[in-house]
């Protein structure tokens, strides 16, 4: 469904992503892990069309989307959420999600109905009339997912939707991610919360200094020497997992 | 009034004359622009009322000269503390409340201030063009085939001295370093215990003191009227954007470039069209290199 | 968008009152006041399309106003049809708006405002210096030639003509509030990256908004030139004028359909009142109302950034809550 062919992205002298290749099949739930600055979000930005890679190709459903603008890629059915959430702050939750639904639907009335469905799915029902900027962070992460979901993506990139949440919020969002996956949406998930990732992902890719250093099942990754080395000396340790 | 044309004898060496004119003009533009870029760099606010403080400086010099017979260079000494105080007051009364607000709020606050100040001047002092002619504005110096008048040279020298002093202050004093740290990262500065409110107050006061002094310095060279600030400030925007908003050294280079464009443009095409050139330059830079000629790309899209 | 209903009634009342004025009085001063309120309201609504709905805050909209004003005035001065001038002005403004919208696309906040100022300044210089074509800084007088085709109208006819413009502007804004395009523009205004992720072509939408806004502003400029009868480059391309368009919208409520008209009602009435009161001292008068302008602008953005409609909405919510 999605193929990355040795993608490289540089900023000036810094190489943020170096020769990463990746294969995602329909129905996958792929996790991407790595220490801070490993190039995870940069990789998302390249896939979703926010950055143009210096080398390599991004192929989505057999079509080369390298260098297409983000909105065009989104219209093809590949969208993303943002690590630092970007709600339409002055609009209410319902309007936020409806703007997502308007990507596929031409009529405002239809989009409103679709938005209600997605809002219910994401457990945001009681908050539909609230201004987005007034939501607590846990709900804003949900809104981020809901809005992306309303565009009916076939492949959805989730960038740290679990970071900074308390345990009960975390359980809720893991549940939501599973439900989205069960609805048939292929997912790539960036996450810092290792425990959640180990339970959630079918396959995990490890990035370090912009390079893919390991790929495998959660169990394989947890015991991979390179993964452990990469995290040692970092602020992060696997014991948290 | 443009320097390339007003100098009499035709036999002067044109290239040398243009070069000298560029440098003289550049020095004065630098002093105007450096306050603007300082305020932007540290407070992240574009002061759309910057030109009005220049206009007030010119009026101060005008009235001190006509009423008290004070030479602009004497007025310069008192203008710096006066405008420092004005800046301080404007910060406390107006800018402090919007320093964390959205761009739009900041834009319209300073735009409103600009409109109000311009028209206070109009009501108090009418729309007449006023000119002062202290003795030094009619002394012409001739060196190596070039000619220029004494007021210009002094204005340039003082502007350069003040700009260098500001640089030294920013680079070597503790307060200057604190200010630069705040410019780098507001939140980190707060965490480190820096009183950012004090930094902003100081920044705004210094920026206004610079432009007020610049107003006094240019008073023997240009007529003053309520909208006098506008012609200089649009130019200062060009300078500052060329150099990269917030970049003081860039503003120096920008001043020279704008001065060169102006001097060469008015020599070749006549003074009437000179503004067109730097506005076109301005639009070009905004569109193609919005972070400035020397800046990192991308700053402008962060909304800075 | 639940607070629309009361605003809509206010708008209906406002436009109805304007339409009824000639039935009540034929006093030139009153008719002139209503015409100017509607005209400045329409122009601010034009600004609001870009500045309010799309978040493209321009300080150079005088550029489009001036293009429209000159197009009509130059046609009239050459004894040609001013309606054709209006159409040419709209065409040129669409081109200029598209160009500036496209070129400034990546610029945000103060950068966008600066580039629009520069654009208006360039046009001001060209209009004042290109003597052969524009008569330079002396300006262009518009000859009064009675008749609808030549836009030489009496006050009553002017009032209804400008009312039509106002209704068109209001209707377009309403469309932007409830249509697909309108919601997408709101997304662009709130966060461009997020809007892109939702499949919205943000650049194209922004350019469209600026173009529509430019066309409306140009239309207003043409009618203004014909109504007032004189076009002067230092006025029609001035920053003051650009600020005025923004000011009405901000005072009334930025990004709302009613806001620009409400703001215009307040500001234009104030101006007309002061003009009548201080008519003896010409220079002094303009200064005083502009000082009030400036101060009001500072106070509004600081203490009531949502303007009058925002304050009213907040007040209604509080009252409803008290009743519940």
Residue A167 maps to a domain = yes
Residue B302's pLDDT is what?
Answer: 36
Residue A68's pLDDT is what?
Answer: 92
A63-64 and B140-143 strand pairing: unpaired
Contacts of A108 in chain C (CB under 8 A): 178-180, 183
DSSP C49: I
Residue A188 maps to a domain = yes
Which residues on adjacent β-strands are paired with residue A92? A131
Residue A62 maps to a domain = yes
Chains with 3 or more CB pairs under 8 A to chain A: C
Can you tell me the distance from the alpha carbon of A215 to that of C256, in angstroms, rounded to the nearest whole number?
Answer: 52
Residue B30's pLDDT is what?
Answer: 87
Q: Which tokens hold the place of C96?
A: 């200029």
CA distance C278 to chain B (A): 12
Poorest-confidence range of A29-43, A106-120, B275-289, C29-43?
Answer: B275-289
Task: Provide the 3-class DSSP secondary structure of residue A29.
Answer: strand
Which residues on adjacent β-strands are paired with residue A190? A32, A159
Residue A106 maps to a domain = no
Residue B40's pLDDT is what?
Answer: 87
**B93 interfacial to chain C (CB closer than 8 Å):** no
Classify the phi-psi angles of B129: left when phi > 0, otherwise alpha if psi is within -120 to 50, otherwise beta: beta
Residue A119 maps to a domain = no
Average pLDDT, chain B: 83
**A107 vs B285, residue with greater confidence:** A107
Domains in chain B and their CATH numbers? 3-294 (1.10.3470)
Interacting residues of C267 by C-beta distance below 8 A, sequence separation 6+: C40, C244, C247, C248, C251, C293, C296
pLDDT tens over chain A, length 241 residues:
999 998 999 887 788 899 999 999 999 999 998 888 888 899 999 999 999 999 999 999 999 999 899 999 999 999 999 999 999 998 999 999 999 999 999 999 999 999 999 999 998 989 999 999 999 988 999 999 999 999 999 999 999 888 888 888 888 888 999 999 998 999 999 987 777 788 888 999 989 888 898 888 988 888 888 877 777 655 444 444 3
Q: Per mean pLDDT, which of B264-268, B299-303, C78-82 is the most reliable?
A: C78-82
Poorest-confidence range of B56-60, B122-126, B142-146, C88-92?
Answer: B142-146
Half-sphere exposure of C172 (CA within 13 A, CB side): 23
CA distance C200 to chain A (A): 5
Residue C149's pLDDT is what?
Answer: 81
pLDDT class of C280 with cuts at 50, 70, 90: low
| Pair B113, B52: CB distance under 8 Å | yes
From the number of C-beta atoms within 10 Å of its C-beta (0-12, 13-18, 19+), residue C14 rates as buried
Residue A136 maps to a domain = no
Q: Which domain holds residue A75?
A: 2-86+154-240
**C321 interfacial to chain B (CB closer than 8 Å):** no
Domains in chain C and their CATH numbers? 4-323 (1.10.3470)
CB contact under 8 Å between C199 and A129, yes or no, is no
Q: Nearest by CB to C302, which of B98, B279, B300? A: B98
Closest chain C residue to B235, measured at CA:
C118
Residue C184's pLDDT is what?
Answer: 94
Can you tell me the distance from the alpha carbon of B270 to that of B277, in angstroms, rounded to the nearest whole number?
Answer: 11
Q: Where are the beta strands (DSSP E) in chain A?
A: 2-11, 14-24, 29-33, 55-60, 63-64, 78-80, 155-159, 186-190, 203-208, 211-216
Interface test with A, best of C199, C255, C313, C314 (most A CBs within 10 A): C199
For the stretch C279-286, contacts whose Cβ atoms lie closer than 8 Å and that sit 24 or more positions apart, written own/partner, are C283/B122, C283/B123, C283/B126, C283/B127, C284/B123, C286/B119, C286/B122
pLDDT class of C324 with cuts at 50, 70, 90: low
Poorest-confidence range of A102-111, A228-237, C52-61, C94-103?
Answer: A228-237
Q: Which tokens hold the place of A5?
A: 């062919």
Can you tell me the distance from the alpha carbon of B60 to that of C297, in angstroms, rounded to the nearest whole number?
Answer: 27
Residue ranges of C 233-292 with Cβ closer than 8 A to chain B: 239-240, 243, 246, 250, 283-284, 286-288, 290-291
Chains with 3 or more CB pairs under 8 A to chain C: A, B
Poorest-confidence range of A165-179, B93-107, B175-189?
Answer: B175-189
**A60 vs B287, residue with greater confidence:** A60
Which residues on adjacent β-strands are paired with residue A17? A9
DSSP B92: I
Per cent of chain C over pLDDT 70 is 95
Task: Provide the 3-class DSSP secondary structure of residue B221.
Answer: coil
Contacts of A152 in chain C (CB under 8 A): none
CB contact under 8 Å between A99 and C198, yes or no, is yes
- B2-16 tens-digit pLDDT: 444 554 555 457 777
Can you tell me the distance from the alpha carbon of B149 to that of B147, in angstroms, rounded to the nearest whole number?
Answer: 7
Q: Which tokens hold the place of C174?
A: 């309403």
Kindly provide the ipTM of the predicted complex, given to two decimals.
0.89
pLDDT class of C224 with cuts at 50, 70, 90: very high
- C229-269 tens-digit pLDDT: 999 998 899 988 999 999 999 999 999 999 999 999 998 98
The pLDDT of residue C66 is above 60: yes
| Pair B203, B92: CB distance under 8 Å | no
Helices C180-190 + C155-178 axis angle, to 10: 70
Poorest-confidence range of A222-226, B130-134, B213-217?
Answer: A222-226
User: What is the helix (H) or strand (E) element at residue B95, kind and residue range?
Assistant: none
CB contact under 8 Å between B304 and C109, yes or no, is yes
Classify the phi-psi angles of A157: left when phi > 0, otherwise alpha if psi is within -120 to 50, otherwise beta: beta
Q: Which tokens hold the place of B109?
A: 């606050």
Distances A126 to A114, A130, C47, C279, C314 between C-alpha atoms, Å: 16, 9, 36, 58, 21
CA distance B234 to chain C (A): 8
Q: Per mean pLDDT, which of B197-201, C135-139, C160-164 is the most reliable?
A: C160-164
Average pLDDT, chain C: 88
**C209 vs C270, residue with greater confidence:** C209
Residue A149 maps to a domain = no
Interface test with C, best of A45, A52, A102, A161 (most C CBs within 10 A): A102
**Interface A:C, Cβ pairs < 8 A:** 83
CB contact under 8 Å between C190 and A90, yes or no, is yes
The dihedral of CA A167, A173, A175, A177: what is its sign?
Answer: negative
CATH number at residue A219: 3.40.50.300
Tell me phi and psi for residue A136, to 5 degrees. Answer: -70, 165
Residue A99 maps to a domain = no
| Pair C61, C215: CB distance under 8 Å | no
Can you tell me the distance from the alpha carbon of A105 to that of A98, in angstroms, rounded to the nearest whole number?
Answer: 10
Can you tell me the distance from the alpha carbon of C302 to that of C296, in angstroms, rounded to the nearest whole number?
Answer: 10
| Tally of domains in chain A | 1
Can you tell me the distance from the alpha carbon of B265 to that of B249, in angstroms, rounded to the nearest whole number?
Answer: 24
Contacts of C114 in chain B (CB under 8 A): 46, 237, 241, 282, 286
CB contact under 8 Å between A99 and C196, yes or no, is no
Chains with 3 or more CB pairs under 8 A to chain B: C
Residue B304's pLDDT is what?
Answer: 30
Residue C51's pLDDT is what?
Answer: 93
CA distance B254 to chain C (A): 16
């Amino acid at each position: 469904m999605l193929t990355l062919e040795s993608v490289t992205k540089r900023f000036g002298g810094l190489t943020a992503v170096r020769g990463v290749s990746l294969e995602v099949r329909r129905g996958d739930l792929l996790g991407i892990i790595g220490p801070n600055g490993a190039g995870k979000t940069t990789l998302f930005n390249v896939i979703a069309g926010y950055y143009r890679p210096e080398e390599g190709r991004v192929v989505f459903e057999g079509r080369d989307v390298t260098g297409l603008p983000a909105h065009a890629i989104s219209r093809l059915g590949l969208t993303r959420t943002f690590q630092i959430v970007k709600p339409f702050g002055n609009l209410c939750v319902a309007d936020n999600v409806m703007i997502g639904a308007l990507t596929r639907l031409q009529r405002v009335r239809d989009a409103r109905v679709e938005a209600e469905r997605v809002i219910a799915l994401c457990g945001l029902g009681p908050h539909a009339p609230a201004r987005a900027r007034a939501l607590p962070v846990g709900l804003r992460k949900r809104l981020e997912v809901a809005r992306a979901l309303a565009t009916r993506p076939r492949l959805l990139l989730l960038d740290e939707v679990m970071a900074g949440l308390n345990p009960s919020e975390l359980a809720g969002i893991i549940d939501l991610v599973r439900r989205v996956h069960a609805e048939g949406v292929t997912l790539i998930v960036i996450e810092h919360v290792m425990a959640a990732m180990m339970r959630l992902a079918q396959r995990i890719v490890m990035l370090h200094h912009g390079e893919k250093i390991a790929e495998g099942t959660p169990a394989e990754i947890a015991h991979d020497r390179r993964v452990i080395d990469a995290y040692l000396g970092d602020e992060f340790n696997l014991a948290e997992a | 009034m443009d320097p390339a044309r007003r100098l009499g004898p035709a036999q002067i060496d044109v290239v040398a004359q243009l070069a000298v004119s560029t440098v003289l003009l550049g020095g004065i533009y630098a002093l105007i622009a450096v306050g603007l870029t300082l305020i932007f760099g540290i407070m992240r606010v574009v002061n759309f009322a910057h030109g009005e403080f220049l206009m007030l400086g010119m009026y101060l010099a005008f009235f001190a000269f006509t009423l008290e017979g004070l030479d602009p260079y004497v007025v310069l000494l008192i203008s710096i503390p006066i405008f420092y105080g004005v800046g301080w007051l404007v910060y406390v009364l107006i800018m402090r409340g919007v320093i964390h607000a959205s761009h739009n709020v900041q834009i319209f606050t300073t735009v409103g201030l600009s409109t109000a100040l311009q028209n206070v001047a109009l009501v108090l002092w009418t729309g007449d063009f006023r000119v002062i002619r202290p003795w030094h504005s009619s002394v012409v110096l001739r060196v190596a085939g070039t000619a220029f008048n004494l007021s210009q040279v002094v204005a340039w020298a003082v502007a350069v001295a003040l700009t260098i002093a500001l640089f030294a202050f920013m680079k070597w004093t503790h307060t200057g370093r604190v200010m630069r740290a705040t410019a780098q990262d507001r939140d980190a500065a707060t965490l480190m215990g820096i009183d950012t409110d004090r930094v902003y107050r100081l920044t705004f006061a210094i920026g206004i003191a610079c432009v007020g002094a610049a107003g006094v310095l240019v008073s023997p060279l240009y007529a003053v009227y309520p909208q006098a600030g506008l012609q200089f400030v649009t130019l200062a925007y060009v300078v500052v954007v060329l150099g990269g908003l917030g970049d003081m050294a860039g503003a120096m280079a920008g001043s020279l470039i704008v001065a060169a464009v102006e001097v060469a443009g008015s020599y070749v095409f006549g003074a009437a069209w000179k503004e067109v050139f730097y506005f076109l330059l301005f639009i070009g830079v905004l569109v193609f290199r919005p972070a400035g000629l020397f800046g990192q790309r991308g700053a402008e899209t962060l909304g800075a | 968008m639940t607070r629309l209903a009361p605003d809509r009634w206010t708008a209906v009342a406002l436009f109805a009152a304007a339409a009824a004025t000639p039935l009540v009085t034929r006093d030139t001063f009153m008719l002139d006041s209503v015409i100017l309120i509607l005209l400045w309201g329409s122009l601010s609504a034009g600004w609001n399309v870009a500045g309010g709905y799309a978040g493209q805050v321009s300080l150079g909209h005088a550029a489009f106003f001036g293009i429209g004003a000159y197009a009509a005035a130059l046609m009239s001065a050459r004894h040609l049809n001013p309606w054709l001038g209006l159409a040419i002005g709209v065409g040129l403004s669409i081109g200029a708006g598209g160009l500036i919208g496209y070129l400034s696309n990546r610029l945000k906040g103060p950068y966008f405002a600066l580039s629009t100022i520069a654009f208006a300044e360039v046009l001001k210089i060209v209009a004042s210096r290109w003597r052969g074509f524009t008569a330079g800084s002396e300006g262009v007088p518009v000859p009064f030639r009675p008749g609808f085709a030549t836009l030489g109208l009496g006050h009553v006819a002017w009032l209804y003509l400008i009312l039509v413009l106002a209704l068109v502007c209001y209707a377009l804004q309403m469309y932007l509030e409830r249509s697909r395009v309108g919601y997408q523009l709101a997304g662009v205004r709130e966060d461009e990256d997020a809007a892109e992720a939702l499949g919205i072509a943000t650049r194209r939408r922004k350019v469209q908004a600026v173009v529509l806004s430019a066309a409306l502003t140009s239309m207003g400029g043409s009618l203004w030139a014909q109504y007032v009868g004189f076009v002067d480059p230092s006025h029609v391309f001035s920053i003051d004028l650009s600020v005025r368009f923004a000011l009405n919208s901000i005072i009334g409520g930025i990004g709302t359909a009613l806001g620009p008209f409400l703001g215009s009602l307040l500001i234009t009435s104030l101006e007309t009142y002061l003009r009548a009161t201080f008519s003896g001292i010409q220079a002094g008068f303009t200064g005083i109302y502009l000082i009030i302008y400036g101060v009001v602008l500072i106070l509004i953005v600081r203490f009531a950034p949502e303007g009058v409609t925002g304050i009213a909405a907040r007040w209604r919510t509080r009252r409803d809550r008290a009743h519940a």
